[in-house]
Amino acid sequence: MTKKDENQKQKGSPFEKKLQAVCKKCSAASVKVYVRNALRLYRLVTPDAAELPETGAWLTKPALYKEFDALDLNKRRLLSTAAIKSLDAYGKDRVKAWGDRLTTASDEYDKIREKRGKTEKEILKWPAKGGYDALKRAARMQKQQSRHVFTKQTKTVKDLWEIQKWLILQLYSNHALRLDFADVFLEKPGGGEGTKNYLHKYRRKGWILTLNVYKTAKFRGAQEIKMNRSASIALSKVVPWIKELTTHGKLLTNRLGGPLSRNGLSKLLTRITEKLLGRKGFSASLIRVLKATKFAKELEISKKLSEEMLHTQKQNFEYSRK
């Protein structure tokens, strides 16, 4: 079964509906992640499974604990969370075995984060030179490789797919978001501004990305990000072609001319960075780590100042003067 078939089969599955019923504050995207990870967990003992069982008896089988305990930390952290959510969905008590495993994985992860050392996967993928700026180099290389497409008088969806690789690199080399670029629309929503993410070019302010739906939206609320100069130039060049060649209304497009999914963006980003930079491909999360590393000194100074003044970083900024 292909990934596409699997996603279609899992969409609206009995398990997903059960999870939605008990996880009322979870976003639709979070529910899908939990469903996907629950299936990954189940496949540790049933490798060929296409969907989850109707009952949760499998969650407390000794064979599952054995397979789970042999996983690396990142997988244990994700799948132990999925196990807890699955117990909730099935209406079962949160058993101590899974609670302990979730706590252990979270504690190990926090200790590594506190040390701020690179993980084994990050070491393999870390660019040989340039750090976060390697993305700018990749963007230049991609544009050079696609120069014949940019100059074509009449462009096709296939041409847009090549041009879009450059646009994605331009965006991520300036604004290290998660995979939210896949959820961005190119028109301001009428009457429902708080329900979508959208890009709009204002006469005086230029390109502004408004984020209403993202991972920490319920804590941070709507956010506006002013696109910097190089990202704005790229958008002004490519957006007219997107509107001319597609009808889906979103920023990013798949090979067939439909909207590019978050999973599709993740795979494309990994593939093009691996091809251009000669390393294991970059995920959006690694790009965020690379950017944070580039500006680590500024972050450290900001943190120390926040602690000294007993303020949040936002309050410190409000105390500062231009």
- Write out the H or E segment, with its range, that includes residue 208: strand 206-211
- Residue 175 is which amino acid? H
pLDDT given for residue 6 in this prediction: 46
In order along its 322 residues, the chain shows pLDDT tens digits of 444 444 444 456 889 999 999 988 887 878 888 999 999 999 999 999 999 999 999 999 999 999 999 998 889 999 999 999 999 999 999 999 999 999 999 998 888 777 777 777 778 788 888 899 999 999 999 999 999 999 999 999 999 999 999 999 999 999 999 999 999 999 887 765 567 899 999 988 999 999 988 888 777 888 899 999 999 999 999 999 999 999 999 999 999 999 999 999 999 999 999 999 988 888 998 999 889 888 888 877 777 766 666 666 666 565 555 5
Q: Which residue has the tokens 């041009």?
A: 163
Q: 133 φ, ψ to 5°?
A: -70, -10
Q: How far is CA 138 from the centre of its chain?
A: 20
Amino acid at 144: Q
Can you state the angle between helices 134-145 and 262-277, rounded to 10 degrees? 90
Cα(51)–Cα(58) distance, integer angstroms: 13
CA–CA separation, 198 and 184 (whole Å): 5
For residue 302, how many other CB atoms are within 10 A of its CB? 14
The domain limits of the chain are: 3-115, 120-294
Please state the separation of Cα 110 from the chain's center in Å: 20
Q: Are strands 197-202 and 223-226 parallel, antiparallel or unpaired?
A: unpaired
Is 120-294 a CATH 1.10.443.10 domain?
Answer: yes
- Predicted local confidence at residue 89, as pLDDT: 94
Closest CA to 176 of 302, 282, 312, 271: 282
Q: Can you say whether residue 283 is alpha, beta or left, with left for phi > 0 and alpha for psi between -120 and 50 degrees?
A: beta
Phi, psi (rounded to 5 degrees) for 274: -65, -40
Of the CA atoms within 13 Å of residue 54, those in its CB half-sphere come to 0
Q: pTM of the entire structure?
A: 0.72
**Dihedral class, residue 24 (left if φ above 0, else alpha if ψ from -120 to 50, else beta):** alpha
Say if CB 280 and CB 125 are below 8 A apart.
Answer: yes
**Structure confidence at residue 1 (pLDDT):** 43
Between strands 206-211 and 197-202, the pairing is antiparallel
The whole-angstrom separation of Cα 142 and Cα 144 is 5
Q: CA 67, CA 145: separation in Å to the nearest integer?
A: 45
